[in-house]
Amino acid sequence: MSDTTPIQHFIRTIIDGDLASGKHRTITTRFPPEPNGYLHIGHAKSICLNFGLAQDYQGACNLRFDDTNPEKESEEYALAIQDDVHWLGFQWSGPVHWASDYFQSLYDYAEELIKLGKAFVCDLTPEAMREYRGTLTEKGRNSPYRDRSVDENLDLFRRMKAGEFPDGSKTLRARIDMASPNINLRDPVIYRIKRAHHIRTGDAWCIYPMYDYTHCISDALEKISHSLCTLEFEDHRPLYDWVLDQLPVPSHPQQIEFSRLELHYTVTSKRKLLQLVTQGHVAGWDDPRMPTLHGMRRRGYTPEGIREFARRIGISKSENIVDMAVLEGAIREDLETKAPRAMAVVNPLKVVLSNYQDGVTGSRLAGFHPQHPEFGEREVSISREIWIEQDDFSEDPPPGWRRLKPGGEARLRYSYVVKCDEAVKDADGKVVELRCSIDHDTLGQNPVGRKVKGVIHWLSASHALAAEIRLYDCLFTDPEPDGHKDRDFLEFFNPNSLMVVQGWVEPALKDAAPEAHYQFERIGYFCADRFDHRPGERLVFNRTVTLKDTWNKGHG
């Protein structure tokens, strides 16, 4: 892998200054996902940032679930998120935190705002509230309920909590400034009535706090030093600070924004990822084509490769649209050093070795990795019939062709030089079999008097094991499927994003464990499927990445 030295960025500069000045003795960060879907590659950037900074500065990082929207949240998502954080190589400080841990405190602080004259109960409908809010160029108007007395607001808010009013009939709003140029400060809603069963508190509450109100107080109660979030929250920072400035909270964290990650040829909107799942375009949240961490894990991406990717793309406030080649390059480099080599044939063409002789034609031992002798070796067996890739034979080859052709020679990897004597065709003129002859003097040595430059991979037909091989490509044909205002992103769905073929692999892979990685020589890096692969019974391998970068060659 590449150098793993942390790359300096503006957030590190802020932290360095805070520690040097004594503002903070140590740092505490947090990763605050909502349990309403599986995490994706954009979240990986945030995980690596928050947990990575805590590691580098010997601080702490909390995992806190933002569970303030009960209708969309589930235990399944919460468990999957914890699994992803662990898989990426991180551990949160202390127990898992939840916004719901603070529901009583949040309610008490809301009453405090009412007593300070800083919050009021509003009866405006959502439509009327939008109308009163104004626009980017027009100031908002005060709600007709804005000047209710403290006692009336307290009474109404307590009755909201007691369940006296229908869903949506009243809200609690912060009393800030309807003329503010920042729309987020125009008396934002901080509580709404919603009778929804909560995954942790059940039916104990029928009012729920809004994210902007919840998040800053949760940060303060946990004494977060640096609250890192993506740029869309930059305009929310004045509200974050306003809430904390009004209340007797134990700390006032600093919110710092950085640009979110956008990856070419995919989407990272949770709503759109959910749409792909629910409409059956993919096989689930962990489909290996999905940009979710569960999907990437199943495809064979490594946590080390993803962490290196996050390091390479860096942290800044400028737009962070990244080419798929950067991600695949990091994965490929990691697998290059750790994946054993093996041979597999995904598009088989039968070859009969006409002069094969039992007891004379020999096998050879081959190492699993050229740089890692400690990986061991295996026997590469040979028999009269072998499989090669159809692409390794051409009747009418282009100039410079180094593989098999009529009358031409090529070396079988770890084995003999063979010559193609005849191509057998079916009734439609398709080549279905080759007849080749072995040069028996070339096992482990070069032929005398001639050069054979081409080397092809192959498998003994009598030793090879059948395997299901899943060839994955990008999920969309457009680099920015989400970037067309007048077109649905599904118009760019790639119908060839998955091809399933029945191929053959070496017998050495019979007992490959689920999630084991291999380089299939000359084809790519593959991973035994996490769920469908059963050692010794059913072999299923997913293509993780190709051997070379194909993205700079007009991919898609």
List domains and CATH numbers for the chain: 10-263 (3.40.50.620), 270-338+467-546 (2.40.240.10), 342-463 (2.40.240.10)
pLDDT at 125: 97
Q: Report the candidate in 262, 291, 250, 118 with the shortest Cα–Cα distance to residue 190.
A: 118
Buried b (16+ CB within 10 A) or exposed e, 386-416: bbbbeebbbeeeeeeebbbbeebbbbbbbbb
In angstroms, the Cα distances linking 517 to 13, 130, 338, 339, 467 are 38, 54, 8, 5, 15
Distance between CA 77 and CA 284 in Å, rounded? Answer: 13
Distance between CA 28 and CA 50 in Å, rounded? Answer: 9
Helix axes 303-313 and 324-338, enclosed angle (nearest 10)? 140
The SS3 assignment for 311 reads helix
What the block records as the tokens of 220 is 């303060």
Asked if residue 528 lies in contact with residue 515, where contact means CB atoms within 8 angstroms, the answer is yes
Indicate the DSSP class of residue 523: T
Distance between CA 459 and CA 447 in Å, rounded? Answer: 22
Burial class (CB in 10 A: 0-12, 13-18, 19+), 181: exposed
Plot region of 265 (φ>0 → left; ψ -120 to 50 → alpha; else → beta): left
In angstroms, the Cα distances linking 178 to 124, 246, 513, 548 are 15, 18, 61, 57
Distance between CA 52 and CA 546 in Å, rounded? Answer: 29
Active site members: 34, 260, 270
Q: Which residues contact 285 (CB under 8 A, 6 or more apart)?
A: 37, 38, 80, 273, 277, 292, 294, 295
Distance between CA 462 and CA 351 in Å, rounded? Answer: 12
pLDDT at 1: 47
pLDDT digits (tens, 9 = 90+) for 340-389: 999 999 999 999 999 999 999 999 999 999 999 999 999 999 999 999 99
In angstroms, the Cα distances linking 216 to 191, 210, 225, 237, 246 are 14, 11, 12, 9, 12
pLDDT at 553: 44
Q: What is the mean pLDDT of the chain?
A: 96
The SS3 assignment for 552 reads coil
Rg (CA), the chain: 31
Distance between CA 43 and CA 85 in Å, rounded? Answer: 10
Mean pLDDT, 10 residues at a time, the chain of 556 residues: 75 98 98 97 98 98 97 96 98 98 98 98 97 96 98 98 98 98 98 97 98 98 98 97 98 98 94 96 97 98 98 94 95 97 98 95 95 97 97 95 96 97 96 97 92 95 98 96 93 97 98 98 97 97 88 42
